[in-house]
Structures are given as structure tokens and as C-alpha cells.
Structure 1
Amino acid sequence: MATSPVRDFLVSYLMPEKCFDEIFVNFHLHVPCLRFLLNKASGFAILTGFCLLVCRLPAALAAQLLKMLCRGSADGLSLPSALLQLYSFSCPVIYAMANNLPLLYV
């Protein structure tokens, strides 16, 4: 039996083969399979958000540094804003480190 690329992707990354058969072949909304699928999808969403957050950090810091270099001073930059920004960037990292989550190794 030939498999489709969609089936290969879903079975490889999101769900076991028995769940795929149960949901998409038999059209039965099996609750444990749906929970597994939702947990896996939410994990990918959290990981994607974390990666986007980490990629934003160097750009924000580079913009701040360029402003200071061009002006020759730090006038006009808000210290509380910079501290809140650093706090928001460090919270997920500290949480992942405290709970031994693998998000730091991406």
C-alpha cells in the first residue's frame, strides 16, 4: 500500500500510526489520540514562539547599540524599557533551565 506525503509527515512528526488510522481512516475522534495530537501541536507552537523570541533579541540589542553609536550618547533611550525587555527575554530561559527543559538546546 502506497503512503501519501501527508500521512508520512503526520506519522513522523505529530502522531503515532494507530492514531492516524483511527482519526483519518476510520473517522473516529479517539480522545486519547486527540489529546496526544493537541499536546504535540502546542509543544511545537511553544517552541516556535521561543525561537522567534530568541531571534528578536539580537535585533533589538543591535538597534539600541546603533542608536547609541550614531548619536554618541544614550540620550532618548529608556532604561526601564530596556530592563523590561531584558526581563521578558530572560524569563523563558530561566524557566527552561530551572525545569531542565530542552528548549535551550535548539
Structure 2
Amino acid sequence: MSSESTLFRCNLCFMCGREISATCQNVLKTDELRSLYMRRVSHSEALSLSASIREADYDLCRYDAEITRLRRTLKTLEAQRANLALQRGHRKALVS
């Protein structure tokens, strides 16, 4: 089983530099994964897979939290935009 560790980074905002990153460890090739299904997993492989699952769970929670934060931000921006468009419309009606 390969035990490579890869760090993925994603820039969320180019203005403030906010980013999110996740570590993808123990990336299994298709043939390696298939071979694990065909035999009993060793204790060390089970420990490695369990650690990888815990790490993925942690990263998924971080992504979920960031997505929730971004949705709230987007909702706020959309409400502010709608309010500005409404005020613009009222002002435009006054000068028409």
C-alpha cells in the first residue's frame, strides 16, 4: 500500500488570502484497493486506513464549516445587493 501524503490548497479569496487545505494521505491505486477487498487487511494496514479515514473526516468537517461560512457570506451579500438595487430604483424613479 502506498503511503504518500499530498497537501491540497485552495485559495478562497485573492484579496484577503484566505485558503483552505486538506491532506490526502494513503491514496490507494485502484488495483491496490481491489486487492484489499480480495484478502484480509493486516493490522498495520487497518491502522493506516483508520488514520486516513479519521483525517478525511476531519478535513470534510473543515470543508463543511467553510462552505457554511461562505453560504452565509453569500446570503449577506445578496441581501445587501438587493437592498442597494431597491434604493437605486427608488432614486432613479425620482429623477425620471
Greater fraction strand:
2
Higher relative contact order, structure no. (Cα contacts within 8 Å, ≥ 6 residues apart): 2
TM-score normalised to structure 2 length? 0.44
> Which is higher, the Rg of structure 1 or of structure 2?
2
